[in-house]
Chain A
Amino acid sequence: MPNVTYIALIPLLPLAAFLILGIFGRKYFKNTSGIIATALLLISTLLAVYTAYGYFFEYGKVDGIYQKLIPLKYTWLQFSEGVSIDMGIIIDPISVMMLVVVTFISLMVHIYSLGYMKGDDRFPTYYAFLGLFTFSMLGLIISSNIFQIYIFWELVGVSSFLLIGYYYDKPSAVAACKKAFIVTRFADVGFLIGILILSFYSNTLDFNKLIERLTTPESNELKNAVAASFLGISALTWGLVLVFIGGAGKSAMFPLHIWLPDAMEGPTPVSALIHAATMVVAGVFLVARLFPVFSISSPNALSLVGYVGAISALIAAVIACTQTDIKRVLAYSTMSQIGYMMFALGVSKYGGEDGLGYTASMFHLFTHAIFKALLFLGAGAVIHYIHSNEMKDMGGLRKYLPITHITFLIACLAISGVPPFAGFFSKEEILLAAYQNNKTIYWVALITSGLTSFYMFRLYFSIFWGRTRPSSFKRDCDEVKGEGGFVMMLPLVLLAFGAATAGFIPFGHFISSDRITLENKFHLMFSISPVALGLTGIIIAMWMYKKENNKPEKFAAMSSGLYKAAYHKFYIDEIYIFITQKIIFNLIARPTAWFDKNIVDGMINATGEGTKEISEKIKTFQSGKIQQYAICFLVGLISLALLFIYVWK
């Protein structure tokens, strides 16, 4: 293995951008900060690509198996023999793949933001936050220690909080960033407890050792972890489920998804970053990282992952069909696609052909990152042009935004799984894996795939077709601006190219559950039904939305109950509010607050009041008469002298 310590630079360069722009940006780099951050990230991206090339084609493979390499490791906190928090770099197929995805998408977002955020007052701050976000995600990917991943996990949470709340003068943005932070933080408590359980039984925090100890059937650690049980479920399963709750929080899985649509309050490129490459895929990545433990030692936890993923995918797809805010539609589609990745992991087994779900999940993560970034950036271009997120303000934009129109169409085709675009390949693999292992999930996935193409093309036709001139179309100011120039179009074109071609990468050659090459098999007969369903979705969307008509309203009226429930996101937010405000506030928070105000504060106040009373009484001793003091002093001195002479000889 050659010396690959330069990999440490990949996350450190965005960190450098964050520090430089965060500290000096507003003073010295008012206008150049975007260029600086983009240049640093470009170096990171090139390094990541170089790493991937080296790893996959030169030194990564030994005896047909991709190795888990640890080129850099530094023990940070040693708790006991064998248990330590390390700062290290792990290089294996998924981390290398993620390095490329994250740096590339982040680079696209950086370039795009040069145009999108131009003229913003806090331009340097924006780029500093982007740098921090990229750094956290890259650090998370290459963590070699489960506690290290937790540290970066929280950093991702913080930086998403900063970016979602970027427009801090908008109350809705402030509420959204708090919501995102609290929900994910709440889930992270589960993650932390899960880490503690897993590390307690495996007696290590290191990923490699942990996975090895918890997957070897003969090991004492595994026996102990399985033997210990709580509420009839083994400690190992508890640990994994809790870790998955952390992952579900970050990945916006049902029922912890409520922060995701609100997170649309951030600038649109940030949404692209959150939804495509960073943050939401962190949960999938975490499950993939611990996949051997899930699949070999605790199939129950893994099937939970599968069902949660499938439910999330379906619910999100239904909700996405009814939303009118274009970014919210995309947000729910993200949730749905992340659900796909989750249940693909859930139906997968370890090793060989049965590990198809794992490969498919990572493949979908890869392709989804590309076309979802493209969708968000395209939506950003539309919003940039029209100054509104609402579908009703749009329509007929294909003449005004030709490049955006074409790239958006490619992304929609990709996400709908139309061959030969990227989404087709990854989705087919996922459906195949589901078909082989779990028929229930397969049917859910199939319905979801139909819904996906429906709501994506509903979005597409509402934006670019329909009315020829939107009612609230401000021609005078927008015509000049057009599509936002080269810097905004370049990422769209690059990503569109990716979305069209990424599917042809033989992914199984690089990534598989046991890190041995998995041949991609293409099943023509199998893919007929999903593609047909996808095309049906597209045609229905075209029929309903291509020309302005009253079919959508009629349809909504026909299925009024379901439509209303889906429009209100199945009242999950309301349920949360009911639980928190009515139950938790009244039963737990108010008594606690009373106890705090009256008992805890009462004790402190009593001490303070008592001291004040006493000092009020004794302050008259201080009369200001010097001679009185002198007498006291003398009497004290004489009595001390007498004491020393006669008593304590």
Chain B
Amino acid sequence: MQPGLYHILFISTVLFFIGVFGFFTRRNLVTMLMSIELILNSVNLNFITFNKYVWPNKLDGLFFTIFVIAIAAAEAAVAIAIIINLYRTHQSIDVENAEEMKF
């Protein structure tokens, strides 16, 4: 059986909420970063799916996905740099220890 549009959208939705759940519950900054990647990938999946099933002759969705991946890579680099700095000052990458950076 060929997988249809709804199958893939279902997977993408599941992936999105796994990401959201991970972002809300995890205290480790690296894991939270990974959760964000999951959210981004679910969005990527949506783009590709709609591109394939709705406008098969166009490539816009694919291009968008490539951009998202590129941005995600940059974001990961920045985020990890922040995490490393946080680790140097606090000897920890627990998100609760970063609370003091408020106002």
Contact = CB atoms under 8 A, between A and B. Distances in A.
A631 B20 CA distance: 9
Which has the most chain B C-beta neighbours within 10 Å: A619, A622, A624, A625? A624
Interface stretch (B5-13, B43-51, B56-64, B95-103): B95-103
Contact of A622 (B23, B24, B25, B102): B102
A619 B103 contact: yes
A623 B99 CA distance: 7
Contact of B95 (A622, A626, A631, A634): A626
Contact of B100 (A624, A630, A631, A634): A624
A627 interface: yes
A622 B103 CA distance: 7
Interface in B16-68: 20, 23-25, 32
A231 to B, nearest CB: 65
B23 A624 contact: no
B102 A630 contact: no
18 contacts: A619-B103, A622-B102, A623-B99, A623-B102, A624-B98, A624-B99, A624-B100, A625-B96, A625-B99, A626-B32, A626-B95, A626-B98, A627-B23, A627-B24, A630-B23, A630-B24, A631-B24, A634-B20
Interface in A588-633: 619, 622-627, 630-631
Contacts, number: 24
Nearest to B100: A624
Contacts of A622: 102-103
Nearest to B26: A627
Nearest to B36: A630
Contacts of B98: 624, 626
Interface of B: 20, 23-25, 32, 95-96, 98-103
A217 B37 CA distance: 92
A600 to B, nearest CB: 32
Contacts of B101: 624
B10 to A, nearest CB: 18
A631 B24 CA distance: 7
Contacts of B95: 625-627
A634 B103 CA distance: 22
Given A623-B99, A624-B99, A626-B98, 12 more contacts: A623-B102, A624-B102, A625-B95, A625-B99, A626-B32, A626-B95, A627-B23, A627-B24, A627-B95, A630-B23, A630-B24, A631-B24
Contacts of A631: 24
Contacts of A634: 20
A623 B24 CA distance: 15
Interface size class of A (residues with CB under 8 A): 10 to 19
Interface of A: 619, 622-627, 630-631, 634
Nearest to B25: A627
A634 to B, nearest CB: 7
Contacts of A624: 98-102
Nearest to B96: A625
Contacts of A626: 32, 95, 98
B101 to A, nearest CB: 6
A55 B71 CA distance: 81
Contacts of B24: 627, 630-631
A630 B95 CA distance: 13
B80 to A, nearest CB: 16
A442 to B, nearest CB: 84
B92 to A, nearest CB: 15
Nearest to B29: A626
Nearest to B23: A630
Which has the most chain B C-beta neighbours within 10 Å: A622, A630, A631? A630
A634 B19 CA distance: 12
Contacts of B96: 625
A83 B28 CA distance: 76
A634 B22 CA distance: 14
Contacts of A627: 23-25, 95
Nearest to A625: B99
B3 to A, nearest CB: 26
Contacts of B102: 622-624
Contacts of B23: 627, 630
A622 to B, nearest CB: 5
Contacts of A625: 95-96, 99
Contacts of B20: 634
A631 B95 CA distance: 15
B84 to A, nearest CB: 17
Nearest first, the 10 A-B pairs at minimum CB distance are A624-B102, A624-B99, A622-B102, A627-B24, A622-B103, A626-B95, A630-B23, A625-B99, A624-B101, A619-B103
A626 B103 CA distance: 13
Contacts of B99: 623-625
A623 B101 CA distance: 9
A631 B101 CA distance: 19
A630 B99 CA distance: 14
A627 B26 CA distance: 9
Contacts of B100: 624
